[in-house]
Amino acid sequence: MGVTTFLRAEGLTTESKTNFVREVWNRLERVPGGKLLYSKLVGRLAPYTGSIGAMVQELGDGYSRVTLADRRSVRNHLSCVHAVALANLVELTGNLALGYSLPDDARFIVAGMSLDYIKKARGTITGECRMSPVETSAKREYEVKVTLRDEGGDIVVEGTLRTLVGPKQL
């Protein structure tokens, strides 16, 4: 049975009446290989996001921690992680923190992004986002702040997503 078939059998789809990001994470995180499976699923649902091969490490209300391994496919000509791969990691990290905390009847879309590249990114990069959980599906814009750090703990990128939240169209 494929992942998509399993999710449909469990009643979990991106169009379901529950919070897909939270429901699937809560089911998979404790299963051996579940974090990898969840990360692959996110990449499959959002193929461009999946192109960087990031790994979701932790998710909770208003919190996410995601890692990106430094490898040739995400590097630039200066042998460091490419700016667009870092932007992709900022978006993924922020979207997961926000998405996990949404009420079941809410959805979101990124309306803008600003990034400050602080230093060259080398080695495994860890994205982290902490924000207040979203309490309502009322139409509103949120600023979602994300920090990317290298293995030494140095900040390589500070990013802010401007994200619109509103009710699902069921």
Structural domains for the chain: 3-167 (3.10.129.10)
Q: Tens of pLDDT along 12-25?
A: 455 567 899 999 99
| Single-letter amino acid, residue 46 | A
Q: Tens of pLDDT along 3-55?
A: 555 555 445 455 567 899 999 999 999 999 999 999 999 999 889 888 999 99
| Single-letter amino acid, residue 146 | V
Q: Express as a percent the part of the chain with pLDDT over 90.
A: 78
Residues 90 and 115: beta-carbon distance below 8 Å: yes
Mean of per-residue pLDDT scores for the chain? 90
DSSP conformation class of 75: B
Question: Is pLDDT above 70 for 100?
Answer: yes
Q: CA torsion sign, 150 to 152 to 157 to 159?
A: positive
Is 49 strand, coil or helix?
Answer: helix
d(CA 147, CA 108): 20
φ, ψ of residue 83 to 5 degrees: the values are -55, -40
The mean per-residue pLDDT over the stretch 122-128 comes to 97
